[in-house]
Amino acid sequence: MHSRATTNQGFLLFGLAIVLVVGVFPKTAIGEGTLSNDEEVSRSGAPIFRHKDRDGEWEAPAHENRNLDDIERHIETQIGSIETVLHELVSDLIHLDILYVAPQPDRPYHVLITSGMSDLAMSTPTEYEEYNRAEVLIVLPESWPISDEAFGDEANYWPIRWLKKIGRLPHEYDTWIGWGHTIPNSNPPEKIADTDFVGVVAYLPSWLPPEFFQLKASSGDVVSFYQLVPLYLEEMDLKLNKGMEELEERMDKADIGFIIDPNRRNVAKRKKWFGR
């Protein structure tokens, strides 16, 4: 399954403190890890954990490509043929590649999915152990430039960067990612590239068949797949104050689709009326 074209993409390590805000899993609590945890919670009651960089030096991956063949078959069965693999040049803890499914007439969007995040188990709470291995995906509009040359511009590359960032985050910080977990771009949150987004939230990929969410790999691992949805600052605050269900409800009412649109409506902002 590896005869397709490949391209190499390096990986930038992120020396930023990470703040992870948890949702309510399935449909979550947060795993324990190297956190400064004083039981800080948001107004919605969700835990807030502030991650610090791990101690220790670079560590070569111990289980490279553990579930790759199964993940590729799963993607090609449920979504479409993998055209390209964006290979990582230098790997710390895990070897994290990006699998690329190109647009088709009946599927006019790009799908990019990590492979390698699930090589290591995440630090989930005992009661959520069945969700301890994961991969993440992003869906981009057909017009989005996908090439080595285009990726030289951060305005085009940032979705790839965030797949790599979130794919490595649980292992770098000894934590886990699940439905409703939100990760801001630094602390305090900063805009991502040339967009007004300031972070992402992990969604269930509900636009795909239900059986896509979890894969039972031949290794015995159960791999869960989450979609990264970028959020505006006000939407991050809404999630903090009122919870994931409120955010999802507003997204649904505003008919926000599963394809990333940097110019989409901000569902946490009220519409302005003339004269007000």
Looking at residue 144, its pLDDT comes to: 98
Among candidates 3, 22, 31, which has minimal Cα distance to 175? Answer: 31
Closest alpha carbon to 139 in 200, 210, 71: 200
pLDDT of residue 55: 60
What's the pLDDT at 90?
A: 63
User: Does an H or E element contain 220, and which?
Assistant: none
Q: What is the pTM of this model?
A: 0.82
pLDDT of residue 12: 27
Look at residue 64 in the predicted model and tell me its pLDDT: 67
Residue numbers of the chain with a pLDDT score lower than 70: 1-58, 60-64, 89-92, 271-276
> Distance between CA 171 and CA 227 in Å, rounded?
18
Single-letter amino acid, residue 266 = N
State residue 88's pLDDT score: 77
Q: Which long-range contacts (CB under 8 A, 24 or more apart) does 210-213 make?
A: 211/78, 212/74, 212/78, 212/79
CB 259 within 8 A of CB 139: yes
Q: What 3-state class would DSSP assign to 248?
A: helix
Residue ranges per structural domain of the chain: 5-253
User: pLDDT value at position 77?
Assistant: 97
The predicted structure's pLDDT at residue 62: 66
Torsion of CA 98, 28, 77, 165, to 10 degrees: 0
